[in-house]
Structures are given as structure tokens and as C-alpha cells.
Amino acid sequence: MTAYSYIDSDDGIRSLIPSFERKGRIAVDFEGEFNLHIYGEHLCLIQIFDGENFFLIDPRAPGVTEKGLEAFFLSDTEKIFFDVQSDASLVHKRYGIVIFRIYDIRIPAVLMGYTGNLRGLEERYLGIPATEGKKRNQTSNWLVRPLDPVQIEYALSDVAHLLELKDILDHEMEVNGLQKECAGRMKRAVAVKTPSPPWKKIGDWRRMTKSEKVYVKQIFIARDSIAKRFNVPAVRVMEKHMITELASDPPVSMEALEKRLEKAPPRFRKMLVTSLWSALEKGREELSGNKR
């Protein structure tokens, strides 16, 4: 088992920052919850390697607050990630924090023609064979405490070789004269982007008719409000495909809607019928107003 320090307080986080800043750079990765076990997106674990020692910051520990996390994310230490966009987006959406001094090694890797995952990159440049079980650990429940030793080992392995890979890829950029191109892509890649509304990710949004888009939005919001109330992933309330099916062929009565939802989980069915009928009414009103 890899040795590591477990950090469960703001004071613990702040005590690490001076050491990290003296080293100048650290390898960082996150584990999160993305509507798989409960409602919403949650930062569950921050794993760090400073070149000598491993650390786990537990954002779910009672002693860790946004102030402590902010101190870490805004510290003047280069934070080296692999494929940082989803991680940076999560921190921004959850805490309103823009992570300072990010370096994403996926950018130079892509410039060298590599488009695979971290394990493949380690195999390509370090000769470390890719291991099984990545998908299983990605979908495991990172909310549960204490964490399983297998989860911890997996989490730490994600930062174990990032510093070494950065040095190799920096050399590749220099040899191939790609430093300027890499810097430009890095700046664009780590910039915080305003996320599109989540209902625009349902189905083929660009090909939908105007009325379908209106109904998808209202149905999505209604389903999401129920999921949030019961603290469950929205897919457990109603399968995603039902949103587009109801939007493309809206029921003309509550009875017809109830018939369409007969396979919905009994726990949510009654509330779904009421909420979705209200959503369809809002959609009809919006479309009627647009026509006028």
C-alpha cells in the first residue's frame, strides 16, 4: 500500500501550501460524484504528489471548508493535471473558484499525436503496462467513508507519474519546436467556460424543432427538481430518452401522460405526472406566446 498523508481540515491544507510553493509544482487529480449515486456533482477527493510524498485532501471531511479549498486552489504552485477540463469545471460550478496555475499534460500529449487516456500515456512514455479496473474505480462510490484501500491506491496512482510525464513532454515540445503552440492551447484549454444549460445535452439538440426544444427544457427542469428533492440521480426518476419522446409527441391529457409513465418508478410516478403535466403546460404557454 502506498504511504500517504490524509488531510481532513483547513489547517491541514494550509500547513501544506508553503512546502508545495517551495517545490514549485505538484501533481493533482480529483475523484468526484457525477449524478451516479446521489443528485448533483460533488468533489470527493483531491490526490496530490509533490515528487516525494502523497497526500489525500478529503473535501467531505467536516473540518474542510470552501476557505481551505480556496487556499489550496489559489496557491502559487503549478498544479499538473491530466485532462483538467472536467475537474476545473467541477470546482468552478461547485465553489465558484478558478484554479490558479494549471498545467494540463494532455495538451502536449495531443500535440504529439496521442489522444488516449492517462494509463496509455504512461505505457507509451514510461513503459508502465496499463492495468485493468479503471472503469470500475471511476464508477465506484467516492462519497462513502472510509474509502476502500483499493480506491485509495487507484486514486494515488493517477498522480504518481504526472511530474515525470510533464518533464518528458516538455522535452518533446522543445525538440519539436512546439512550445509556443502548446502555450496557446494550454491557455485556451484551462480557461473557464460558461457551461451550456444541461438540457441542451439531451438528444440531438441542434436538430430539434423549436417546440421540441421548449418542451425538453421544461421537462428536464421538472425531472431535475424531483431528483434534487429526493437526492437521487435524475435518471432514477425518469430515463433520459423519455424526455425527448415526450417532447417530440407531447401527451394531450394528463391521463395520456400517466399512461406514458406507467413504467416509471412507483416512488416518483404520481409526482412525475403532476410535475410533467405542469411542465408541458408551461411549454404550451411559451409556444403560444411566441406565436403571438
Q: Is the pLDDT of residue 291 over 70?
A: no
Instruction: Name the maximum alpha-carbon separation found in the chain.
Output: 69
CB of 173 closer than 8 Å to CB of 72? no
Q: Residue 281 has which C-alpha cell?
A: 403546460
Report pLDDT for 8: 97
Identify the CA nearest to 74 among candidates 95, 93, 60. 95
Final residue belonging to a domain, choices 190, 207, 233: 190
Encode burial over 55-70: b for 16+ CB neighbours within 10 A, e otherwise. Answer: bbbbbebeebeeebbb
Reduced to 3 states, what is the DSSP secondary structure of residue 54?
strand
**Quick one: 75 and 185 in the same domain?**
yes
**Quick one: 174 and 211 in the same domain?**
no
**Quick one: 176 and 202 in the same domain?**
no
**Quick one: 223 and 160 in the same domain?**
no
**Quick one: 15 and 128 in the same domain?**
yes
Mean pLDDT throughout 174-201? 90
Reported as a single tens digit per residue, the pLDDT across 229-247 is 999 999 999 999 999 999 9
CB of 4 closer than 8 Å to CB of 56? yes
d(Cα 161, Cα 127) in Å, to the nearest integer? Answer: 11
Identify the CA nearest to 219 among candidates 196, 239, 194, 195. 239
The DSSP symbol for 142 reads T
Q: What is the mean pLDDT of the chain?
A: 93
CA 226 from chain centre, in angstroms, equals 22
The pair phi, psi for residue 5, each rounded to 5°, is -105, 135
Final residue belonging to a domain, choices 190, 208, 228: 190
**Quick one: 75 and 212 in the same domain?**
no
Report pLDDT for 137: 63
CB of 257 closer than 8 Å to CB of 280? yes
Specify the pTM. 0.88
Report pLDDT for 292: 47
Identify the CA nearest to 246 among candidates 272, 207, 285. 272
Reported as a single tens digit per residue, the pLDDT across 57-101 is 999 999 999 999 999 999 999 999 999 998 999 999 999 999 999
Helices 210-230 and 266-291 meet at what angle, rounded to 10?
150
C-alpha Rg value of the chain to the nearest Å: 23
pLDDT grade for 289, boundaries at 50, 70 and 90: confident
Cα angle value 201/204/205 (rounded, 5°): 65
Final residue belonging to a domain, choices 168, 190, 212: 190
Reduced to 3 states, what is the DSSP secondary structure of residue 287?
helix
CA 292 from chain centre, in angstroms, equals 41
**Quick one: 176 and 31 in the same domain?**
yes
**Quick one: 275 and 138 in the same domain?**
no
**Quick one: 124 and 108 in the same domain?**
yes
CATH code of residue 96: 3.30.420.10
Q: Is the pLDDT of residue 113 over 70?
A: yes
**Quick one: 213 and 183 in the same domain?**
no
Q: Which domain range does residue 242 map to?
A: 198-291
CB of 266 closer than 8 Å to CB of 238? no
Q: Is the pLDDT of residue 195 over 90?
A: no
**Quick one: 80 and 112 in the same domain?**
yes
Residues, the chain: 292
**Quick one: 107 and 131 in the same domain?**
yes
Total domains in the chain come to 2
Beta-sheet pairing, 54-57 with 25-34:
unpaired
